[in-house]
Amino acid sequence: MKIAAVQMVSTPRVDENLAAARRLVAVAAADGATLVALPEYFCLMGNDDRDKLAHAEAPGDGPIQRALADCARAHRVWLIAGTLPIRTATGERALNASCVFAPDGRHHARYDKIHLFRYDNGREQYDEGRVLQAGREPVAAVLDTAGGPLRVGMSVCYDLRFPELYRVLMEPPCDLLVVPSAFTHTTGRAHWEVLLRARAIENQCYVMAPAQGGRHENGRRTWGHTMIVDPWGEVLACVTEGEGVAMAELDRDHLAAVRAQLPALSHRAVTCRLPAA
């Protein structure tokens, strides 16, 4: 099956971003993709962190979620909708939620980002915890595709640095890990590709990482380099900067062959412990 990762350079205007997402999903679907993923914050790269709260929606309903459902239905694709802000009970913070929509427009699954990014090198400062509430539960979504059930491990951006999350998602093993992201240019240049390839190699599965990629109106610069990586760690497709779509074939036979020739997932010595001091 063909899978597609969308790269965007989102703005502070939700309607404009939704239009761009619809256009790029249409491109991917026209090229044969049956699963399309959008980047983190695809719907909003605001001028202030609290802009997320102004656009936060109730779980399962809101103009952004309705637009995503319509988009999935219109193009008959599984749509992993990057992330959008979902309102918490108090409204004081939002969840950074990655939602999955089925080809009939039905809301299929949701993962709330567990690891919240904080960074300060003296020139750039970010702290998602100011307005976001961390999620609590790993989520693997099983998609009903023409080739059979597809188990997709959900994650978001900063989660990529925490391999223990992916080990949990691999019980039972996933076929695909999805990492919608908005890596900074600084951290992306240093770590993005090596982390994506490591997660693919150690978990012996495909990794799809749709990203923000360019200079945004709010002054931020994101790394881009949207990628699809195969279970052997080979980069199958990459969009370096600016809008675009990375597409590749998810080959179940190749996935099975990698796991058969090097059955590392079954070799894990899960009882290993450091000696007592």
CA nearest neighbour of 258 among 179, 175, 169, 162: 175
pLDDT tens track for 56-107:
999 999 999 999 999 999 999 999 999 999 999 998 999 999 999 999 999 9
Please check whether residue 81 lies inside any domain of the structure. Answer: yes
**Who wins on pLDDT, 196 or 276?**
196
Q: Which amino acid is at 215?
A: R
Amino acid 124: pLDDT: 80
Contact predicate 57/63, CB 8 Å: yes
**What is the percent of the chain where pLDDT is above 90?**
92
pLDDT tens track for 229-240:
999 999 999 999
Please check whether residue 274 lies inside any domain of the structure. Answer: no
| Full-model pTM | 0.95
Is residue 217 part of the annotated active site? The answer reads: no
Number of domains forming the structure of the chain: 1
- Residue 241 carries which DSSP code? S
**What is the percent of the chain where pLDDT is above 70?**
97
Cβ contacts of residue 120 below 8 Å, gap of 6+? 126
Please check whether residue 271 lies inside any domain of the structure. Answer: no
Please check whether residue 84 lies inside any domain of the structure. Answer: yes
Is residue 113 part of the annotated active site? The answer reads: yes
Domain hosting 151: range is 2-266
Question: d(Cα 247, Cα 252) in Å, to the nearest integer?
Answer: 16
User: Catalytic one among 40, 57, 128, 243?
Assistant: 40
Mean pLDDT score of the chain: 96
Q: For the chain, what is the largest distance between any 2 Cα atoms, rounded to a whole number of angstroms?
A: 61
For 154, half-sphere exposure in the C-beta direction (CA atoms, 13 angstrom radius) is 28
Is residue 2 part of the annotated active site? The answer reads: no
Please check whether residue 273 lies inside any domain of the structure. Answer: no
CA nearest neighbour of 46 among 12, 71, 85: 12
Q: Which amino acid is at 62?
A: G
Cβ contacts of residue 137 below 8 Å, gap of 6+? 112, 114
Amino acid 276: pLDDT: 67
User: Catalytic one among 113, 128, 238, 241?
Assistant: 113
Say which CATH number the domain at 104 has. Answer: 3.60.110.10
Amino acid 269: pLDDT: 83
User: Catalytic one among 43, 71, 157, 205?
Assistant: 157
Please check whether residue 272 lies inside any domain of the structure. Answer: no
Please check whether residue 89 lies inside any domain of the structure. Answer: yes
Q: Which pair of tokens denotes residue 96?
A: 């950074």
Please check whether residue 276 lies inside any domain of the structure. Answer: no
